[in-house]
Amino acid sequence: MSVQDLFHEKQVRQLCALHALNNLFQQNTFEKTELDSICYRLSPENWINPHKSMLGFGNYDINVIIKALESRGFEAIWFDKRKDPNCLNWTNICGFILNIPMDYKISFITLPLKRRHWIAIRSIMGQYYNLDSKLDYPELIGTADDLCKFIREQLKSQDKELFVIVTKEVEQNQNWILDDTN
């Protein structure tokens, strides 16, 4: 299987959370209407919904991602960046969602506004891939050791966050981590 054969939604508007979820599951699992519905269930009384963009283009927050994952039997666990990624039990993890800061640009002008971007990472046929919707194609990270290095490098930045995606059963049994004493 080549990189071009992998399921990879590319960035449209501010729908990176939607793309990250679909790229994580390697299929069109969610639609914008479902994520919008989750937003309204989270804040039914708010005229301006705090869980998405005011303009309705997406920009969903982690609460929407968590609820979407829960609707499919999965959990998002915040990874404490003070721990080393070697503590993760790779075999019981479905994938990762990385949240990174992004500059807000219009054409070539960078505005003094900050946005967040969601990126899916997962193993496919024994190799880990960066499934960032802003990439032309998925980017091969490599083995679990390579992924460990990648995660360490990403989490050096204080404003990046990593969420470990597991089944509800794995989360309940805490089988996603090898050693939680660090």
Residue 55 covered by a domain: yes
pLDDT of residue 118: 87
Cα 98 to Cα 109, 117, 178, distances in angstroms: 26, 8, 21
Cα 44 to Cα 7, 37, 126, distances in angstroms: 33, 10, 42
Residue 179 covered by a domain: no
Residue 6 covered by a domain: no
- To the query of whether residue 19 is one of the catalytic residues in this protein, the response is no
Supply the mean pLDDT for the chain. 85
pLDDT tens by residue, 68-93: 999 999 999 999 999 999 999 999 99
pLDDT of residue 182: 45
Residue span of the structural domain in which 91 resides: 13-173
What is the tally of structural domains in the chain?
A: 1
- Evaluate whether 11 touches 134 at the Cβ level (below 8 Å): yes
Q: Which of 16, 19, 39, 51 is catalytic?
A: 16
- To the query of whether residue 51 is one of the catalytic residues in this protein, the response is no
Residue 117 covered by a domain: yes
Per this entry, what is the length of the chain? 182
Q: Which residue has the higher pLDDT, 139 or 15?
A: 139
pLDDT of residue 100: 86
pLDDT tens by residue, 121-177: 999 999 999 999 999 999 999 999 999 999 999 999 888 999 999 999 999 999 999
94 sits in which H/E element: none
Residue 182 covered by a domain: no
Q: Which of 8, 19, 51, 117 is catalytic?
A: 117
Residue 64 covered by a domain: yes
pLDDT of residue 110: 57
Distance separating the N- and C-terminal Cα atoms of the chain: 38
| CATH value at residue 59 | 3.90.70.40
Alpha carbons 56 and 148: distance in angstroms, whole number: 36
Residue 5 covered by a domain: no
- Evaluate whether 92 touches 99 at the Cβ level (below 8 Å): no
pLDDT of residue 83: 93
